[in-house]
Amino acid sequence: MNQTTVPYSSDRLRELAQLLIGNVRELAQAGWTPATSSNFSHRLDDRHAAITVSGRDKGRLVEDDIMVVDLDGQAVGRPLRPSAETLLHTQLYRRFPEIGCVLHTHSPAQTVASRLYAPQGHVRLEGYELLKAFHGNQTHEMAVDVPVFANTQDMTVLAAQVEAALDRELAAGRPLWAYLIDGHGLYAWGRDMAEARRHLEAFEFLLGCELELRRLGAR
């Protein structure tokens, strides 16, 4: 489909496709995207996002595996099927114009933490130096509660739960950079790919620390 028939920049889409492919390949090599799991997106413009096509092996993505959706989650341009969880990406882009990238992974640490902390509804991360990796944080002397939502195949239900959590945290003056889904994995985001990767990697490390503390009987 040529440039005159799509409502977005094809050049920008190609640029973002390469950015996504390179970063997602590294996450796959780390073992965070087993089988065809996980999904990844980047804001394309103020009305569209580039997102991985459903069912693709994330370690072997090519340019045709990146498609465009509008901010209601509907495919634009090529008639491909986006991830079933597209609404969880686009709700963040709609609500926060500053968010530029959303990354969803399924590492063992993320998945195990989501099971262990589901009864509490959150994982508390407190006192770690690496909390300063999150945008806007200047000190380790604080706590971050990462919500854990029940898993469901109904994305409208899950999106509504996420929206309520965003309302609650923002009303309390607490920014949110990620959440977990029980038995599933982690969603993390940032203003661009670099910041989203930093947040994702920081949460991965901190969740691993919490799991190790539990194993040692310190939690």
pLDDT in 10s for each residue of the chain, 219 residues: 344 588 999 999 999 999 999 999 999 999 999 998 999 999 999 999 999 999 899 999 999 999 999 999 999 988 888 888 999 999 999 999 999 999 999 999 999 999 999 999 999 999 999 999 999 998 898 899 999 999 999 999 999 999 999 999 999 988 899 999 999 999 999 999 999 999 999 999 999 999 999 999 876
H-run or E-run covering 91: helix 86-95
The answer to whether 41 and 102 have CB atoms below 8 angstroms apart is yes
Question: Tell me, what's the pLDDT at 11?
Answer: 96
**Alpha-carbon dihedral sign for residues 117, 86, 24, 13:** negative
Domain count, the chain: 1
In the numeric block, which tokens belong to residue 28?
A: 């796959």
Residue 185: strand pairing partners: 181
In the numeric block, which tokens belong to residue 93?
A: 């882009």
Residue 51: strand pairing partners: 41, 67
Q: How far is CA 25 from CA 5, 20, 32, 175, 191, in A?
A: 30, 8, 10, 29, 20
Domain that holds residue 145: 3-215
CA–CA dist 139, 129 (Å, integer): 7
CA–CA dist 106, 37 (Å, integer): 7
E strand intervals along 64-218: 66-70, 75-76, 101-105, 122-126, 143-149, 178-181, 185-190
- Neighbouring CB atoms inside 10 A of 110's CB total 26
Instruction: Give the CATH number, domain containing residue 169.
Output: 3.40.225.10
Phi, then psi, of 51 in degrees rounded to 5: -145, 155
Amino acid at 122: H
Question: Tell me, what's the pLDDT at 4?
Answer: 55
Q: How far is CA 192 from CA 41, 95, 120, in A?
A: 10, 16, 31
